[in-house]
Amino acid sequence: MSQDKLVIFDTTLRDGEQSPGASMTKEEKIRIAKALEKMRVDVIEAGFPIASPGDFESVQAVARAVTESTVCGLARALDKDIDRVGEALKDARSARIHTFIATSPIHMERKLRMSPDEVVEQAVHAVKRARNYTDNVEFSAEDAGRSELDFLCRIFEAVIDAGARTLNVPDTVGYAMPHQFGETIRLLRERIPNADKAIFSVHCHNDLGLAVANSLSAVINGARQVECTINGLGERAGNAALEEIVMAVRTRRDMFNCDSGLDTTQIVSCSKLVSNITGFPVQPNKAIVGANAFAHESGIHQDGVLKHRETYEIMRAEDVGWTQNRMVLGKHSGRNAFRSRLIELGMTFASEEELNAAFARFKDLADKKHEVFDEDLQALVTAGGIEAENERIKLVSLKVCIETGETPTANLVLTFDGKEQAVAAGGGGPVDAAFKAIDSIIESGSELLLYSVNNITTGTDSQGEVTVRLQKAGHIVNGQGSDTDIVVASAKAYINALNKIMEPNARAHPQGDV
């Protein structure tokens, strides 16, 4: 039985980045894009170029860096948006323009203040303008999940005639139910006269925990593109998780007459990279990529798996990238082994100076812990990028004194705009004391929204990875730090977040709901 191709459209760099605090630098976006390319993702939505100069530069950089996947940019159905995307993607080997306009009655009336006729006219105009830049044009009907079916048929037929070759049906607010959403896709394909000229796509949000279920129901009913993100990252409750979509379709071949062309062995490493860069940890019981996804503690389960794996496992852990055959580095490992392992993990350096700096950090870490694992290397390289980008505040030294019954104190030395300053402060605990010492020098006026600690690997010598989220004047940032000393990792994360929130040209929070 022949199988259709299921196109995987990854929007981690665009919709995923709209999670509060998940904004990524240009360099971080390139790293994730290269990992997605290595996984053989079909389409990478790199951003929303009109949102800010930083977003434009990031999309442009990804378009230049990626050669195997199609690079996509998002645009409202406005000339200025479309032209900006066209400019950002002009160097892409394969480019797509993704334009959208709202189609639900409440959006047309309350947000757009346009009549249905005007919305159709605007959509057709946008698609035709996008076709001036590329033949690969996608049109999305924003809030399709609450749109009238007759109107969806009308606008989709019109944009197909105008040149759109992918039609996206988003459940923008996560309102749909699986049976209802699948039926919508089936009816659209049956009722639109020129439906055979376009691929039907879905983009589901997870507000009711149904993003993956809705997406799979759509695929069963003929959708052949799914828009998703690594780890389900996205604003509010997130998006459909790429790893769950891909493995559900591949595992249940009896239900799906299609398959993606992804190299699924890259899923776990890509998941860890995105988690490390954004500071959004993966819960242990998360499907496919959670630490417990293939763990068995029950004696009955363990016995069954040992006798015959398929008794309790429907997938092989190694098929998604979980493996015990990892190269473990230590303090005696050389530069070549270090470089080779980083290349295998999809991490490269722009210069020998960057490699040397990373190798020096690796040697310092190897002196603190006996074995350095892949997860340590991911955190190490990310930390290097953090330090290189943010120069205003740097940690020089930190000494913390704690004693039962006494107030913890932190003695801190840091440089701020090149000037070294020392301060001591007390607090409710060692981390609180360290943060108060930093605040006494920086006085940023920001609000702490989140403080989170996760172990990177197992063992008492594991590095702790700390995420700090700050808010100031509506600008939300994540800071990250890692160290075998949790208090030092916390101080690094707080300083990283402060550097970001104090940047004079900080990027605006990206927008663009589909």
Closest CA to 72 of 99, 96, 41, 42: 96
Rounded Cα distance between 384 and 371, Å, is: 20
Rounded Cα distance between 310 and 288, Å, is: 16
Residue 304: band (very low, low, confident or very high) from pLDDT cuts 50, 70, 90 = very low
Residue with tokens 């020098």: 441
- CB 8 within 8 Å of CB 262: yes
Q: b vs e for 102-136, b when ≥16 Cβ sit within 10 Å of the residue's Cβ? A: bbbeebbeeebebebeebbebbbbbbbbbbebbeb
Rounded Cα distance between 499 and 504, Å, is: 10
Q: b vs e for 433-452, b when ≥16 Cβ sit within 10 Å of the residue's Cβ? A: bbbbbbbebbebebeeebee
- CB 487 within 8 Å of CB 433: no
Residue 305: band (very low, low, confident or very high) from pLDDT cuts 50, 70, 90 = very low
Rounded Cα distance between 171 and 384, Å, is: 38
Closest CA to 385 of 57, 46, 27: 27
Rounded Cα distance between 362 and 360, Å, is: 5
Rounded Cα distance between 105 and 140, Å, is: 16
Interstrand relation of 393-401 and 258-259 (parallel, antiparallel or unpaired): unpaired
- CB 183 within 8 Å of CB 151: no
> Using one digit for the tens of pLDDT, what is the confidence trace for 322-365?
764 455 677 778 888 888 877 777 677 767 887 888 888 888 88
Superfamily for domain range 391-501: Alpha-isopropylmalate synthase LeuA, regulatory domain (3.30.160.270)
The helix (run of H) or strand (run of E) holding residue 162 is helix 149-162
- CB 274 within 8 Å of CB 288: no
**Letter for the amino acid at 147?**
S
Q: Which residues pair with 166 in a beta bridge?
A: 138, 199
Residue 509: band (very low, low, confident or very high) from pLDDT cuts 50, 70, 90 = low
Phi/psi of residue 25, nearest 5 degrees: -75, 170
What's the 3-state SS for 368-433?
HCCCECHHHHHHHHHHHHHHHHCCCEEEEEEEEECCCCCCCEEEEEEEECCEEEEEEEECCCHHHH
Q: What is the mean pLDDT of residues 423-427?
A: 96
- CB 66 within 8 Å of CB 41: no
Q: What is the mean pLDDT of residues 229-257?
A: 96
Closest CA to 53 of 93, 79, 87: 87
Predicted confidence at residue 163, as pLDDT, reads 98
Rounded Cα distance between 393 and 102, Å, is: 44
Residue with tokens 């894009």: 33
Q: Round the average pLDDT of the chain to a whole number and report it.
A: 88
Strand order in the sheet with 475-483: 447-455, 464-472, 475-483
> Using one digit for the tens of pLDDT, what is the confidence trace for 80-122?
999 999 999 999 999 999 999 999 999 999 899 999 999 999 9
Predicted confidence at residue 307, as pLDDT, reads 46
Rounded Cα distance between 74 and 227, Å, is: 13
**Encoding tokens for residue 395?**
């940690």
Rounded Cα distance between 45 and 119, Å, is: 24
Residues near 192 by beta carbon (within 8 Å), at least 6 away in sequence? 153, 156, 157, 160
- CB 469 within 8 Å of CB 21: yes
Residue 512: band (very low, low, confident or very high) from pLDDT cuts 50, 70, 90 = low
Q: Is pLDDT of 477 > 80? A: yes
The helix (run of H) or strand (run of E) holding residue 342 is helix 335-344
Task: Tell me the residue ranges of DSSP E strands in 430-498.
Answer: 447-455, 464-472, 475-483
> Using one digit for the tens of pLDDT, what is the confidence trace for 355-408?
888 888 888 888 877 677 777 777 777 665 545 454 789 999 999 999 999 999
Q: Is pLDDT of 303 > 80? A: no
Rounded Cα distance between 18 and 263, Å, is: 26
Domain ranges in the chain are 4-278, 335-386, 391-501
Return the CATH fold of 4-278: TIM Barrel (3.20.20)
Total number of residues shown for the chain: 514
How many angstroms from the chain centroid is the CA of residue 137? 23
Residue with tokens 């394909």: 189
**Encoding tokens for residue 266?**
């890259």
Rounded Cα distance between 432 and 17, Å, is: 29
Structure-model confidence comparison of residues 503 and 296, the more confident one? 503
> Using one digit for the tens of pLDDT, what is the confidence trace for 142-179?
999 899 999 999 999 999 999 999 999 999 999 999 99
Predicted confidence at residue 476, as pLDDT, reads 85
pTM for the model? 0.84
Q: What is the mean pLDDT of residues 5-19?
A: 95
Residue 505: band (very low, low, confident or very high) from pLDDT cuts 50, 70, 90 = low
The helix (run of H) or strand (run of E) holding residue 169 is strand 166-171
**Encoding tokens for residue 400?**
């913390």
**Letter for the amino acid at 463?**
Q
List C-alpha distances in Å: 57 to 52, 87, 101, 260, 424: 9, 10, 24, 30, 41
